[in-house]
Amino acid sequence: MTHDCTREHDRELERHIINGDVDVYDSLRDLYVGRLVNIHAQGLMVMGDVLLEEDRLYTLDLHLPEPVNDQMVIQLGVDCLWTRAADLSGKHWIGFSIIDVSAQAVQSIRSLVERLGESY
């Protein structure tokens, strides 16, 4: 399977809009990236204040508005697949593929989606 086929498959996965304030940080630089917009089993999208580099690996911390599985933070290893300017205010849409995630983080994502998510 080529990388392009993988991306096409990712587009078929059910996404979940997150109706809550989940702040996203680059944990290695302790830098606020933006707000979680949607998430699915293999990726996520963020509305960001900081333009990240495409085809670069990041470790992201999702700071939750309330505890999920006794966690306030979900940590993910991700690959930045794409970035797009959102508007004239300097905001950016940023799409990530999840490449490194613990079993506990997977369960926390499921719980987050159940609590704050809306499928589309």
**Distance set, CA 101 to CA 5, 72, 78, 112, 116 (Å):** 22, 16, 9, 15, 20
Taking the domains of the chain in order of start, what are their residue ranges?
3-119
Measure the CA–CA gap between 16 and 116, rounded to whole angstroms.
9
- pLDDT, position 14: 60
Contact 76, 108 (CB under 8 A): no
Q: Which CATH superfamily is domain 3-119 in?
A: predicted glycosyltransferase like domains (2.40.10.220)
- pLDDT, position 22: 92
pTM of the model: 0.82
- pLDDT, position 54: 96
- pLDDT, position 1: 35
**Token pair 């997977």 is at which residue?**
106
- pLDDT, position 77: 97
Q: How many other CB atoms are there within 10 angstroms of residue 42's CB atom? A: 14
- pLDDT, position 113: 81
- HSE-CB at 40 with a 13 A cutoff on CA atoms is 15
- pLDDT, position 26: 96
Instruction: List per-residue pLDDT tens for the chain, 120 residues long.
Output: 333 434 444 444 466 677 678 999 999 999 999 999 998 878 999 999 888 999 999 999 999 988 988 899 999 999 999 999 987 788 999 999 999 999 999 999 888 888 776 665
- pLDDT, position 8: 41
Which residues are registered as beta bridge partners of 85? 92
